[in-house]
Structure 1
Amino acid sequence: MHRPFRTAPHAFPFLSSPSMAALDTTAIHSWHAHVYFDAASRDAAWAFRQVVDERFGAVIELGRFHERLVGPHPAWSYQIAFDAARFDDIVPWLVLNHGALDIFLHPNTNDELRDHRDCAVWIGKSYELNLDALAG
């Protein structure tokens, strides 16, 4: 018999600290998934992009196919942008179908630095971002 997981109120004392207060998930208005690639994986990245567009094209925005470094990204990339309400449809599919491509996933909450530095998720291998590109 499985019992529901219950957490004692004191189990996460850091959430009671003003500097570590739990964030309201309704602050997430959209998500960006950045698909990383290089010269060797370029064709796979393009093919994956086409499959993503065929499957989700009506509910996503595909960004430019950058064969150069842009923003904080340490690899060539393109962006898949989608509304927060589509997370449950899109992210599990990306997790299961990304193949050898690495994906950097972050929310958009109007705090660009925190979204990229503290709230990101990696599908596949993780990379070190150039966070200086977000300072402005």
Structure 2
Amino acid sequence: MAIRGYHAHLYFDPHEVGHARAVAEAAQAAFGCPVGHFHTAPVGPHPRGSVQLSLRPEQFAQFAAWASEGREGLTVFAHGLSGDDLADHTQYVIWFGTSEPLDLSIFG
């Protein structure tokens, strides 16, 4: 299965949305990656508020190096995009910070 890209989800609590915006803006400036909607409550499998960054495969190694410090204390859940949503969220994953339980029931 080929990985076509990556999503990196910055997790935050409602009072951290400003901090999450600053981290997302820094990632966008560094990588030119699209920044999604800032969800202040759980959406999909994500247990907390989150925002999605979309990365090309050739960007991910540099993003990973950046995320170890650039995430500024936020948890980042990153996963590959293979076309299999369940595998993407369970097998092709990398956590920066403390891992959190996902709601996998949405994948049926």
* TM-score in terms of structure 1 length: 0.74
Task: Find 1:56's aligned residue among 28, 31, 36.
Answer: 31
1: CA distance between counterparts of 2:53 and 2:19? 16
1:86 aligns to what? 59
2: CA distance between counterparts of 1:120 and 1:88? 14
* TM-score in terms of structure 2 length: 0.92
2: CA distance between counterparts of 1:46 and 1:61? 13
Q: Contact 2:31/2:59 (CA < 8 Å) preserved in 1?
A: no
Q: How far is the alpha carbon of 1:96 from its aligned partner?
A: 2.2
2: CA distance between counterparts of 1:82 and 1:122? 15
CA offsets 1:23-60 (integer angstroms, 9 cap, x no match): x5xx0110010000002322211111121122222xx2
Higher relative contact order (CA 8 A, sep 6+): 2
Q: How far is the alpha carbon of 1:119 from its aligned partner?
A: 2.1
Q: Secondary structure at the match of 2:52?
A: strand
1:46 pairs with 2:24: no
2: CA distance between counterparts of 1:61 and 1:121? 19
2: CA distance between counterparts of 1:97 and 1:129? 23
Gap runs ≥5 in structure 1: 1-23
How many residues in Structure 1 have an aligned counterpart in Structure 2?
Answer: 108
Gap runs ≥5 in structure 2: none
2:90 aligns to what? 117
Once superposed, which parts of structure 1, at least 4 consecutive aligned residues long, lie more than 4 Å away?
Answer: none
1: CA distance between counterparts of 2:30 and 2:56? 15
What fraction of aligned residue pairs are identical, expressed as a percent? 33
Q: How far is the alpha carbon of 1:122 from its aligned partner?
A: 0.6
1:99 aligns to what? 72
